């Protein structure tokens, strides 16, 4: 994640926290304050996956090389082996428990190598266009929340919790020299397994007299990674039984291992149920 985006997300969290501690912050009383309410939202998210890492690639004449790779839905959908995505919430009064579980696995899919650079900058070297990646990842977010603002036109929860990531990722490369001569084939492992603490906010902008609303979410954290962050903005429509939501979501990690980073971003569609 770039420093500019990290600062922007931090400022957004700070502004919302300031609003929630100001004179207008109050959790409105509800007729359902004494009973538990539950909400489950299965969803489909089709992100573009961007990653970069510093690795040793002998044959390029450099000890350490930076690789940037990109994989989109058009590349991996045909090789998708399994996916499970669901959000859930349990609420009683202003207090809530929120969770989000994302699991996906695909193998041997086409991957675009955007650029290759060494200590002196971009290398006069090619990585075969048929580079392939195996990826299996689980991202689990668990947080407690407090309804800090509840009005006719907006609801905002402050959150604190943790996010867990386990990722097994192998990138198969064909390394070529400047003349196009095949130097060697190389497999690069980008495996990760770590926990991070997070803080953030989530909520909805409501339109009184209408079933339409705008959901939003943002968090930022650190721990076993240098930084993790997530943001979401969408549009939803409420029914008596639940809602349908279309949103754009982004999730990012900055790792210590291999000086790597990972960003997933793209549209998603969910159907929620509440009782």
- pLDDT digit string (tens) for 245-268? 999 999 999 988 767 888 999 999
Mean pLDDT on 214-239: 96
CATH number at residue 43: 2.40.128.100
Q: Which two tokens stand for residue 97?
A: 């428990």
Q: Measuring CA to CA, which residue among 221, 91, 230, 198 is closest to residue 150?
A: 91
Most confident option among 28-32, 129-133, 240-244: 240-244
Domain range for 267 is: 3-274
Mean pLDDT on 118-144: 68
The tally of domains found in the chain comes to: 1
Residue-wise pLDDT for 105-128, tens only, equals 876 655 666 556 555 554 545 555
Q: What percent of the chain has pLDDT over 90?
A: 48
Torsion angle of C-alpha atoms 253, 256, 261, 267, degrees rounded to 10? -10
Q: How far apart are CA 251 and CA 263, in angstroms?
A: 6
Q: Measuring CA to CA, which residue among 158, 114, 210 is closest to residue 25?
A: 158
103 pLDDT above the threshold of 80: yes
> Is 0.85 surpassed by the pTM of this model?
no
- Per 3-state DSSP, what percentage of the chain is helix, strand, and coil (rounded to 5)? 10, 65, 25
- The answer to whether 29 touches 234, Cβ cutoff 8 Å, is no
- The SS3 call for residue 204 is strand
């Amino acid at each position: 994640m770039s420093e500019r985006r990290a600062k922007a997300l931090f400022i957004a969290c700070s502004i919302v926290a300031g609003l929630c501690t100001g004179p207008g912050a109050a959790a409105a009383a509800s007729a359902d304050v004494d009973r538990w309410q539950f909400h489950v939202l299965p969803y489909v998210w089709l992100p573009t996956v961007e990653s970069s890492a510093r690795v040793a690639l002998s044959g390029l004449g450099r000890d350490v090389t930076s690789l940037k790779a990109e994989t989109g839905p058009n590349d991996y959908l045909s090789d998708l082996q399994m996916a499970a995505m669901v959000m859930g919430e349990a609420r009683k009064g202003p207090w809530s428990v929120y969770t989000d579980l994302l699991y996906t696995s695909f193998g041997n899919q086409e991957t675009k190598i955007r650029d290759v650079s060494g200590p002196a900058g971009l290398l006069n070297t090619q990585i075969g266009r048929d580079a392939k990646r195996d990826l299996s990842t689980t991202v689990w977010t668990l947080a407690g929340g407090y309804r800090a603002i509840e009005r006719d036109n907006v609801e905002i929860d402050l959150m604190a919790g943790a996010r867990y990531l386990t990722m097994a990722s192998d990138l198969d490369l064909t390394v070529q020299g400047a003349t196009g001569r095949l130097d060697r084939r190389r497999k690069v492992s980008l495996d990760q397994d770590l926990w991070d603490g997070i803080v953030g906010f989530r909520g909805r902008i409501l339109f009184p007299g209408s079933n339409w609303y705008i959901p939003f979410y943002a968090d930022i954290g650190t721990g076993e990674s240098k930084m993790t962050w997530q943001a979401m903005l969408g549009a939803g429509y409420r029914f008596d039984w639940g809602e349908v939501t279309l949103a754009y979501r982004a999730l990012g990690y900055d790792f210590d291992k291999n000086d790597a980073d990972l960003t997933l971003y793209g549209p998603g569609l969910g159907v929620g149920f509440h009782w």
